[in-house]
Amino acid sequence: MRDTIGFMRTTIDADRRIDVFEFGHGEAIVALHCTGGNAGQWKRVADHLDGKFRTVAPNFIGVGRTEQLGDDSQHWLEADISVVLAILEKQHRPVHLMGHSYGGHVALNVALNMKDSLKSLILVEPAVPGGNSAGRFSINTTSMQSTVSDLVEFFDRTGAHGGWSSIPESRRAKLIADRFTLAAQINAIVESELPEIGEIAGRLPCAIISGADTSPEIHQHCNDLSRMIESAQRFVVPDAGHMLPITHAKEVAEITLAHLEKTPPVPAA
């Protein structure tokens, strides 16, 4: 938590308890975190958006105070989508939706099915089935209990959080403790389908952002996705890797502001 004016932590009771952080003032941007992350990853981005946009960041299922789903991973993606839908319902008017990695995957699913609830879409290195995710984001699990070696392989392959060796010991311990949720999110990406992504073209203003130093596979995937969504604007942040919302928050915020300046303001409800 931080003591900046405009910070608020709330709980929404929908089908289950949802933990929500809000940063700043202005028109709402709903921001969705990555695998291994949480709502707090958007704090630095929100600092640069404050005054123009209010960042509403939920914790996904099993993260923070958001209620755990249980041992059934088959419906994990649907449950995380329901988290976003509950947030959108509380806003009472169309909002901007931003997602990073797994959060980008969730955001795309929401965008394909909830066009009337969204004003624009911002994807930061989104993980999408049919791109690189089926090979890069799978984790080997037995009864959904991931081993430490699986986690090391995943974080080193994706470059998430700078790779396993770059993660502080205290954070590693938390990731190991949360291995069930991590594996459920990763398998949700691998096992789900996202048909007709091109339907977003012409319907929603869309920005796709990646880091210049991210893996070649992820960079290519973002390029492919931008071609599939004809209306998408493509942005690359210099000297940034996969965790650019944290490491290059100012640049991500500047791109977001430039993109949203082209989007008419949402009228009051």
Query: Higher confidence at residue 134 or residue 188?
Result: 188
Q: Of 84, 109, 100, 91, nearest to 28 (Cα)?
A: 91
The pLDDT, as a whole number, for residue 202 is: 66
Burial of 195 (0-12, 13-18, 19+ CB in 10 A): exposed
In what order do the strands lie in the sheet containing 206-211?
8-13, 17-23, 53-58, 27-32, 95-100, 118-124, 206-211, 232-237
Query: Higher confidence at residue 65 or residue 203?
Result: 65
Residue 7 has pLDDT above 70, yes or no: no
Taken as a whole, the chain contains a residue count of: 269
Q: Of 46, 15, 67, 77, nearest to 256 (Cα)?
A: 46
Provide the pairing of β-strand 118-124 with 206-211: parallel
Over residues 213-257, the pLDDT tens digits come to 988 888 888 998 888 887 799 999 999 998 999 999 999 999 999
Residue 183 host element (H or E): helix 179-191
**C-beta of residue 108 within 8 angstroms of C-beta of residue 128:** yes
Over residues 105-150, the pLDDT tens digits come to 999 889 988 877 899 999 999 986 744 443 444 444 444 455 677 7
Provide the pairing of β-strand 141-142 with 145-146: antiparallel
State the Cα–Cα distance between residues 104 and 226, nearest whole angstrom. 13
Domains (range + CATH), the chain: 8-128+195-261 (3.40.50.1820)
Over residues 23-74, the pLDDT tens digits come to 988 889 999 999 888 999 999 999 999 888 999 999 998 888 888 776 555 6
H helices present in 38-178, as ranges: 43-49, 76-91, 102-113, 133-136, 148-158, 169-177
Least confident of 14-28, 48-62, 186-200: 186-200
The pLDDT, as a whole number, for residue 250 is: 97
Query: Higher confidence at residue 91 or residue 159?
Result: 91
C-alpha distances (whole Å) from 225 to each of 6, 152, 206, 219 are 35, 27, 11, 10
